[in-house]
Chains A and B, each alone.
Chain A
Amino acid sequence: MSTDPSGADRTDTHDRKTEAALDVERTKAEVERSFAGPAERLEILGVDGALRPGTEAPLSVEQVLDALRWMMLSRTVDFRAVSLQRQGRMGTFSAVRGQEASVVGSSFALDPARDWIVPQYRELPGVVRHGFPLDGYLLYWMGNPAGGRVPDGVKILPLQIALAAQLPHAVGLGWGLKLQGIDGVVTTYFGDGASSEGDTHEAMNLAGVCKAPVVFFLQNNGWAISTPRTKQTAAATFASRAVGYGFPGVIVDGNDLFAVYEATRQAVERARRGEGPTLIESQTYRMGAHNTADDPTRYMEPVELSGWDERDPVTRVIAYLRGLGAWDDAAQKEMQDGIDAEVDAAIEAAEAFAPPNPEQIFTHVYATPPERLLQQQRDAQTANEA
């Protein structure tokens, strides 16, 4: 037995590196497998921007232009928010980059007037399209709780930080709508990491039993912070889990706007018909850090080397529109200029918002605060005035 601690350390370090390298290899292999062919996976729009043989576009050109605008807006917000965070003007921010088709395509299948979104926290363009104000969203991540309030009438539940805890809420909400005969489908977002939580199992199981009108939209973006998808499950796919709950699980190319939209549309219609939930595994990729506090160079390859750059969901839609003659550089500039103005205005509005009054820590804890809490509030006021 070696008694040389430094020797032991070297071995450990070597093993860790090997393991990390293996992870990258496994993840790449997994990614390649996921692109092996359309047999089990819904794919409509090819990487080159052309429709796959035998498919047709489920969205009109006007709708595609609208979707593209949301995707480009999302990416613009990502870049601006990260920049603001680096300047100290924004708190921790989780970018959507790489997952725009996944988020926007799925949200396009929902009717904001009657359907609900139960989000996680990486669905900015989806929740903004559904009615959450962009300036409010930014304000929340700038550290003002007022931004976290979903406006009255907007059918979105609060962002969720305790991963997968939102799934039981989504099931209860959908089930409650069904029991009361209210027309509405609930789509809840979560990731490959959150799928390992017990709440995911409990929620899907109940949803199957009570046939709740719920779409479980699992964004498999390859990473849970640094943990690769291969370490979340030994199952070949996440979608396969649905079998165990008695409802369909489908796989879509998550970087294909049309496939994501179409799969979600079918799941929403199925739920609306009273046939119960669907699990959608959207195979996409987080083209960057988990959030602004993360250093992805410690565990993943640059996106340019991973092969995901060329599968960029935004450029794919642009290539499609160009192919139809519905897009050119002038159109791109015009749309980007409009987005820049909108994002500028949202940032300006968020930054102009009065900073939160610290005393609001005492509000919204209870409908009627207990005397004990009121006393604490008075004590805090007195202490801060002294």
Chain B
Amino acid sequence: MATMTMIEAIRSALREEMARDERVVMLGQDIGQLGGVFRATDGLLKEYGADRVFDMPLAEAVIAGSALGLAVSGLVPVAEIQFLGFTHQAFHQIGPQLGRYRYRSQGRYNAQVTIRTPFGGGVRTPELHADALEAQFAHSPGLKVVMPSNPYDAKGLLLEAIRDPDPVLFCEPLRGYRLVKGEVPEGDYTVPFGKAQVVREGTDVTLVAWSAAVQLAERAAERLEQEGISAKVLDLRTLVPLDVEGLVAAVESTGRCVVVHEAPLTAGFGAEVVATVQEEAFYSLEAPVARVASPDTPYPIASIEDYYIPSVERVVAAVRATVNAS
């Protein structure tokens, strides 16, 4: 086991899978010579050559769309879209094309394509770099949406994604790239999709989160502990498929639930979590399920983003209200 950052774990997965499976190719902007703007693909061009690592024109739609064609030709493409906010320029190729190719072709073709893309606030990026758009993709049938929060999961989920015969949107928490460290095994292992993980035990309330919001929830749980509130933290890991069983079990064990995410409140994936909890765990609830999310405004300019994205204080306040509700 080695201690790795998120970005090192991701790079390790890519590098190992390219060695294991010669069909695996990488494509994206600045991923070759530069090694990616965050160095996720650093060294891969040198190691595997220009026939497997492609520096692409600045054109998101054709990165996603050509990945579909590359997959049909027999390759296994892993595409990088530099920021999740830039998938707006490619959405029509990701949702309705990649997501529906198996369905539209009645199973003749599948799109074994992984799209890696960083997102998330707190690192003072320019406009459209931080937007959390996961709900848009979770609403696109045929796609899988994977949101790792830590290095171990990042590597294991990425290997699972690359080997999945269906298209996977793999969202990487930009803030955690170098900040979040953890033990990561050398060599091959996968983390299955649709298995949420309890990352902190607790008895009074369950905080449900994914990606960078998991660390936020953990920090809030530490703060709450000092106040005598025991918070369980559940990392969903994947939104599609959603681990309904794990979610329900975690909520039932505490009777209270607060969902935390960086995306705007309305129609964020938290709404789906809350709806599922009330459908499946209503009679175990002792208080209304709360959401801590960003407000329904465009993502603001970097200097004031801390006011926009959920903070430890906002999570703590929501939990207090939930615990005091009954």
Binding site for B on A (CB under 8 A): 145-146, 148-152, 157-158, 162, 165, 167-177, 179-180, 182, 198-199, 202-203, 205-206, 209-210, 363-367, 370-372, 375
- Give the secondary structure class of A's interface: helix
Nearest-Cβ distance from residue B265 to partner chain A, whole angstroms: 23
From A146, A173, A198, A202, name the one whose CB has the most chain B CB atoms within 10 angstroms: A202
Which residues between 83 and 109 of chain B lie within 8 Å of chain A, taking CB atoms? 92-93, 96-97, 101-109
**B218 close to A (CB within 8 Å):** no
**Chain A hits for B66, CB < 8 A:** 168-169, 171-172, 175, 203, 206
Query: Do residues B56 and A206 form an inter-chain contact, with CB atoms below 8 A?
Result: yes
**B123 close to A (CB within 8 Å):** no
A151 nearest in chain B by CB position: B108
Query: Do residues A168 and B110 form an inter-chain contact, with CB atoms below 8 A?
Result: no
Query: Do residues B107 and A176 form an inter-chain contact, with CB atoms below 8 A?
Result: no
The answer for the CA separation of A173 and B67 in the assembled complex, in Å, is: 8
Which residues between 101 and 127 of chain B lie within 8 Å of chain A, taking CB atoms? 101-110
- Given A367-B166, A370-B194, A371-B244, A206 and B59 touching (CB < 8 A)? yes
Query: Do residues A172 and B70 form an inter-chain contact, with CB atoms below 8 A?
Result: yes
The answer for the CA separation of A149 and B102 in the assembled complex, in Å, is: 10
Query: Do residues A367 and B104 form an inter-chain contact, with CB atoms below 8 A?
Result: no
Query: Do residues B102 and A365 form an inter-chain contact, with CB atoms below 8 A?
Result: yes
From A168, A174, A209, A367, name the one whose CB has the most chain B CB atoms within 10 angstroms: A168
Which residues between 137 and 176 of chain B lie within 8 Å of chain A, taking CB atoms? 141-142, 144, 164-166
Pairs A-B, 3 closest by C-beta atoms:
A172-B69, A168-B65, A176-B73
- Given A172-B68, A206-B62, A370-B241, A148 and B104 touching (CB < 8 A)? yes
**Chain B hits for A149, CB < 8 A:** 105-108
Query: Do residues B73 and A182 form an inter-chain contact, with CB atoms below 8 A?
Result: yes
Interface residues in B, total, Cβ within 8 A? 47
The answer for the CA separation of A371 and B238 in the assembled complex, in Å, is: 13
The answer for the CA separation of A8 and B33 in the assembled complex, in Å, is: 62
**Chain A hits for B62, CB < 8 A:** 168, 171, 199, 202-203, 205-206
B67 nearest in chain A by CB position: A172
Extra 13 A-B pairs, beta carbons < 8 Å, given A169-B72, A174-B73: A149-B106, A151-B108, A168-B69, A173-B72, A175-B69, A176-B71, A199-B93, A363-B107, A364-B103, A365-B142, A367-B110, A371-B194, A371-B245
Nearest-Cβ distance from residue B299 to partner chain A, whole angstroms: 24
Query: Do residues A157 and B72 form an inter-chain contact, with CB atoms below 8 A?
Result: yes
The answer for the CA separation of A179 and B72 in the assembled complex, in Å, is: 13
The answer for the CA separation of A75 and B69 in the assembled complex, in Å, is: 32
12 cross-chain CB contacts under 8 A? A165-B93, A167-B65, A168-B61, A168-B93, A171-B62, A175-B70, A176-B70, A176-B75, A198-B61, A205-B57, A206-B56, A371-B244
A360 nearest in chain B by CB position: B106
Query: Do residues B105 and A173 form an inter-chain contact, with CB atoms below 8 A?
Result: no
**Chain A hits for B228, CB < 8 A:** none
**Chain B hits for A167, CB < 8 A:** 65
Query: Do residues B69 and A176 form an inter-chain contact, with CB atoms below 8 A?
Result: yes
Query: Do residues B68 and A168 form an inter-chain contact, with CB atoms below 8 A?
Result: yes
**Chain A hits for B65, CB < 8 A:** 165, 167-169, 171-172, 199, 202-203
Which residues between 49 and 79 of chain B lie within 8 Å of chain A, taking CB atoms? 51, 54, 56-57, 59, 61-62, 64-75, 77
The answer for the CA separation of A61 and B178 in the assembled complex, in Å, is: 70
The answer for the CA separation of A13 and B240 in the assembled complex, in Å, is: 52
The answer for the CA separation of A202 and B62 in the assembled complex, in Å, is: 6
Nearest-Cβ distance from residue B45 to partner chain A, whole angstroms: 15
**Chain A hits for B240, CB < 8 A:** 370
**Chain A hits for B73, CB < 8 A:** 172-177, 179-180, 182
**Chain A hits for B164, CB < 8 A:** 367
The answer for the CA separation of A194 and B247 in the assembled complex, in Å, is: 45
**Chain A hits for B61, CB < 8 A:** 168, 198-199, 202
A145 nearest in chain B by CB position: B106
Give which listed residue, A165, A182, A202, A366, contacts B57 with CB less than 8 A: A202
Nearest-Cβ distance from residue A261 to partner chain B, whole angstroms: 26
Query: Do residues A148 and B106 form an inter-chain contact, with CB atoms below 8 A?
Result: yes
Nearest-Cβ distance from residue B167 to partner chain A, whole angstroms: 10
From A165, A171, A172, name the one whose CB has the most chain B CB atoms within 10 angstroms: A172
**Chain A hits for B96, CB < 8 A:** 162, 165
Query: Do residues A169 and B69 form an inter-chain contact, with CB atoms below 8 A?
Result: yes
**B242 close to A (CB within 8 Å):** yes
Nearest-Cβ distance from residue A50 to partner chain B, whole angstroms: 42
Give which listed residue, B74, B106, B166, contacts A176 with CB less than 8 A: B74
Nearest-Cβ distance from residue B111 to partner chain A, whole angstroms: 9
**B316 close to A (CB within 8 Å):** no
The answer for the CA separation of A167 and B62 in the assembled complex, in Å, is: 9
**B25 close to A (CB within 8 Å):** yes
Nearest-Cβ distance from residue A342 to partner chain B, whole angstroms: 24
Query: Do residues A370 and B242 form an inter-chain contact, with CB atoms below 8 A?
Result: yes
The answer for the CA separation of A322 and B109 in the assembled complex, in Å, is: 45
The answer for the CA separation of A205 and B108 in the assembled complex, in Å, is: 28
**Chain B hits for A162, CB < 8 A:** 92, 96-97
Query: Do residues B59 and A169 form an inter-chain contact, with CB atoms below 8 A?
Result: no
Query: Do residues B93 and A372 form an inter-chain contact, with CB atoms below 8 A?
Result: no
The answer for the CA separation of A108 and B242 in the assembled complex, in Å, is: 49
B103 nearest in chain A by CB position: A364
The answer for the CA separation of A281 and B65 in the assembled complex, in Å, is: 23
The answer for the CA separation of A363 and B104 in the assembled complex, in Å, is: 11
Query: Do residues B64 and A180 form an inter-chain contact, with CB atoms below 8 A?
Result: no
**Chain A hits for B165, CB < 8 A:** 367
- Given A149-B107, A198-B61, A172 and B72 touching (CB < 8 A)? yes
**Chain B hits for A367, CB < 8 A:** 102, 110, 164-166
The answer for the CA separation of A371 and B248 in the assembled complex, in Å, is: 14
The answer for the CA separation of A198 and B104 in the assembled complex, in Å, is: 22
The answer for the CA separation of A162 and B65 in the assembled complex, in Å, is: 12
Query: Do residues B106 and A168 form an inter-chain contact, with CB atoms below 8 A?
Result: no
B64 nearest in chain A by CB position: A168
Query: Do residues B75 and A179 form an inter-chain contact, with CB atoms below 8 A?
Result: yes
**Chain B hits for A157, CB < 8 A:** 72, 105, 109
Nearest-Cβ distance from residue A276 to partner chain B, whole angstroms: 15
